[in-house]
């Protein structure tokens, strides 16, 4: 019976995920930009977890004492770069992949990252779901 209950809960979560994502999109105009002082206080020296449509997307480490950042995407690939801020945009300049800009916002009790292009919201959203002190482990894949 417990397995059936767990399976039903999982099915309900999978069905609800697109609805939740659509709800974010429908209300994104209510999002409030997070000031850079607040963001750096929360992120500096920490690792942030991001999800897209409820699925794990990436870990991002803000290195202390500067503007260096490391992004480890879902497949383990890591990107190194630097970031800067020009209100309300946080732009990340990746060594191999160019620049990507975002607005970091609060919407109700969630932190929502909104991708921008040429200063305009694209509608592509990420939710920041965790903050930890665990460093990233980037490097070549371990083989036996």
- What CATH number is attached to the domain comprising 71? 2.40.128
Residue 80 has pLDDT above 90, yes or no: yes
Task: For residue 40, give the 3-state DSSP assignment.
Answer: helix
Position 120 in a domain = yes
Which runs of E-coded beta strand occur in the chain? 32-33, 47-52, 55-62, 68-73, 78-86, 89-94, 98-107, 110-117, 120-132
Give residue 29's pLDDT: 79
Cβ proximity of 47 and 131 under 8 Å: yes
Position 141 in a domain = no
pLDDT digits (tens, 9 = 90+) for 32-74: 999 999 999 999 999 999 999 889 999 999 999 899 999 999 9
Cβ proximity of 51 and 37 under 8 Å: no
Residue 16 has pLDDT above 60, yes or no: no
Position 122 in a domain = yes
Position 137 in a domain = no
Using CA atoms, how far apart are residues 40 and 82, in angstroms rounded to an integer?
A: 13
Position 21 in a domain = yes
Cβ proximity of 57 and 126 under 8 Å: yes
pLDDT digits (tens, 9 = 90+) for 95-119: 988 999 999 999 988 999 999 999 9
Contacts 24+ apart (CB under 8 A), 120-126: 121/28, 123/25, 123/28, 124/52, 125/21, 125/24, 125/25, 125/28, 125/52, 126/50, 126/51, 126/52, 126/57, 126/102
pLDDT category at 15 given cuts 50, 70, 90 is very low
Position 69 in a domain = yes
Position 139 in a domain = no
Give residue 18's pLDDT: 44
Position 143 in a domain = no
Give residue 139's pLDDT: 66
Least confident segment among 12-21, 35-44, 122-131: 12-21
Domain tally for the chain? 1
The whole domain housing 79 covers 2-132
């Amino acid at each position: 019976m417990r397995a059936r209950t767990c399976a039903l809960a999982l099915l309900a979560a999978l069905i609800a995920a697109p609805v939740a994502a659509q709800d974010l999109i429908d209300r994104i105009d209510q999002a409030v930009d997070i000031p850079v002082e607040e963001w750096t206080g929360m992120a500096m020296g920490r690792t942030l977890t991001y999800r897209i449509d409820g699925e794990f997307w990436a870990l991002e480490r803000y290195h202390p004492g500067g503007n260096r950042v490391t992004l480890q995407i879902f497949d383990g690939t890591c990107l190194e770069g630097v970031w800067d801020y020009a209100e309300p945009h946080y732009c990340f300049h990746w060594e191999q992949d160019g620049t990507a800009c975002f607005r970091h916002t609060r919407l109700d009790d969630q932190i929502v990252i909104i991708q921008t292009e040429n200063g305009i919201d694209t509608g592509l959203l990420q939710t920041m779901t965790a903050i930890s002190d665990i460093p990233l482990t980037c490097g070549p894949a371990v083989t036996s």
